[in-house]
């Protein structure tokens, strides 16, 4: 076993069991495909040696090399989809986590989204006593830190003093080059609104709202960007 493969397998071993199983299945599929392609290539070469082939451009008519390169790259991407070798955290696409229809658990839902952890795991960290209450920035920050995600020490504030639909806010954040972030917004129709937590997904350039699709007008009052652990040292 090469040192690179040994290091990769050691990193995979640190992941949750379900992630290990999925990576194992995907890698096994690609390895089996590589074996099959090698067999087909060997059979083709033997046919040529026996004089059974005709004069053709092998690269154009039999792209085994490109197929094998594709399979190898797929195998590596299957691992890199879950592993960030810089900090050992899982890296996967953010997913929308919905809050309870009549609840005030938007902060906990955002913790699950930003940490990319299962809903139950994130909620258990935010609400250790099981009582779902509104969450402050301090509570959300502490929960994310426990789950391996760090927010900037101070929020960014923007000159968006008027109210907009979240789609318009997304366009503004994308133009400003904001990384993944926790946003605190207030709704226009409720002057006593204490705030609502949403997540900015920079990869998809989209705001993920625990309430789901919402065409009401909002104003951003704080933006806490996700930072690398090294930036806090």
Task: Give residue-wise pLDDT tens across range 45-67.
Answer: 676 666 665 544 443 444 444 44
**Same structural domain, 148 and 223:** yes
Domain membership of residue 23 (yes or no) is yes
Nearest to 119 by CA among 99, 133, 101: 99
pLDDT beyond 50 at 89: no
Q: How far apart are CA 218 and CA 169, in angstroms?
A: 9
Average pLDDT, the chain: 77
Higher pLDDT, 65 or 226: 226
Most confident stretch, 12-21, 69-78, 84-93, 203-212: 203-212
Instruction: Indicate if 111 and 209 belong to the same structural domain.
Output: yes
Are 71 and 123 within one domain?
no
Note whether 169 and 218 are within 8 A (CB). yes
111 with 48, same domain? Answer: no
Flag whether 92 is in a domain: no
Share of the chain above pLDDT 90, in %: 33
Q: Which residue has the higher pLDDT, 79 or 193?
A: 193
Find the domain containing 195 and state its range.
Answer: 106-232
Asked if residue 212 and residue 124 are part of one domain, the reply reads yes
> Is residue 91 within 8 Å of 80, Cβ to Cβ?
yes
**Per-residue tokens: 110:** 């955002």
Instruction: Please tell me the total count of domains within the chain.
Output: 2
Confirm whether 49 is domain-assigned.
yes
pTM of the model: 0.59
One domain for residues 110 and 205: yes
Residues 114, 73 share a domain:
no
pLDDT, tens digit, 9 for 90 and up, residues 137-190: 999 999 999 999 999 988 887 766 688 889 988 998 998 889 999 999 988 766
Residue 15 lies in a domain: yes
Q: Is residue 91 part of a domain?
A: no
Tell whether 61 and 111 lie within a shared domain.
no
Residues 228 and 117 in one domain: yes
Query: Is the pLDDT score of 73 beyond 70?
Result: no
Residue 75 · residue 27 · CB < 8 Å = yes
What's the pLDDT band for 202 if we cut at 50, 70, 90? very high
Strands 181-187 and 196-201: antiparallel
Q: Is residue 95 part of a domain?
A: no
Distance of alpha carbon 149 from alpha carbon 45, whole angstroms: 53
Question: Considering the domain boundaries, does residue 166 fall inside one?
Answer: yes
Coil/strand/helix, residue 94? coil
Asked if residue 74 and residue 189 are part of one domain, the reply reads: no
pLDDT at 24: 80
């Amino acid at each position: 076993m090469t040192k690179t493969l040994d290091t990769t397998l050691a990193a995979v071993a640190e992941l949750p069991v379900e992630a290990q199983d999925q990576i194992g299945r995907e890698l096994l599929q690609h390895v089996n495909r590589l074996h099959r392609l090698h067999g087909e290539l060997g059979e083709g070469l033997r046919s040529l040696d026996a004089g059974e082939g005709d004069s053709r451009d092998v690269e154009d008519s039999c792209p085994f090399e490109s197929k094998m390169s594709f399979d190898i790259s797929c195998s590596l991407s299957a691992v890199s989809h879950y592993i960030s070798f810089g900090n050992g955290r899982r890296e996967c696409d953010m997913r929308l986590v919905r809050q309870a229809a009549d609840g005030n658990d938007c902060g906990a839902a955002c913790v699950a989204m930003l940490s990319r952890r299962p809903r139950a795991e994130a909620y258990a960290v935010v609400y250790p006593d099981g009582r779902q209450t509104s969450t402050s920035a301090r509570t959300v920050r502490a929960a994310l830190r426990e789950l391996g995600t760090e927010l900037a020490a101070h929020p960014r504030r923007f000159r968006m003093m008027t109210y907009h639909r979240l789609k318009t806010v997304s366009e503004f954040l994308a133009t400003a080059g904001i990384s993944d972030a926790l946003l605190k917004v207030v709704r226009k129709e409720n002057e006593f609104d204490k705030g609502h937590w949403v997540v900015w997904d920079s990869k998809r350039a989209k705001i993920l709202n625990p309430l789901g699709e919402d065409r009401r007008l909002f104003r951003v009052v704080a933006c806490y960007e996700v930072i690398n652990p090294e930036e806090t040292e």
